[in-house]
Amino acid sequence: MTAPAIRRSKAEGSLQVIQGRRIHRPTVAPWMVMALIGVVAFLGLGFARTSLDRSAFELAELNAEIDAQLATNQELELEIARLENPARIAPLALEMGMVIPADTNQLLVDLDTAPVVAETDGGGESKG
């Protein structure tokens, strides 16, 4: 801001204030604030995009690992089915001397009564 020019009036001998031209200086502060907001927004978007890409890569790795584990699980289920196959077990049981019993006895267990413990004498036979 400039000081107004002062001149003397010839007729009255008094001083008179003459308004001078004000020099207009462009303000830089609003443009600097806008530029700073733009830079921060650009960097924020870049950071958000990078985070999303990193998450997408981790998700792809987890999906690949899940697929591998599913394949392993399927192979193990097939191995269990092969090992439980009666056609494979029967010849092995015969080699060990196992036979199918000729007669079967069914046992009826009543779970509502108290358990009965059989007593044995010293020779391993039950007393009663």
Query: In tens digits, what is the pLDDT along the chain, a chain of 128 residues?
Result: 455 555 555 556 677 777 777 777 777 888 899 999 999 999 999 998 888 888 889 999 999 999 999 999 999 999 999 999 989 988 999 999 998 888 888 888 888 887 777 776 655 555 54
**Could you tell me the pTM of the whole model?**
0.42
Burial class (CB in 10 A: 0-12, 13-18, 19+), 99: exposed
Q: What is the pLDDT of residue 113?
A: 80
In the chain, how many H helices and how many E strands? 2, 2
- Provide the residue type at 27 as one letter: T
Nearest to 60 by CA among 113, 80, 68: 68
| Cα gap 73→67, rounded to integer Å | 10
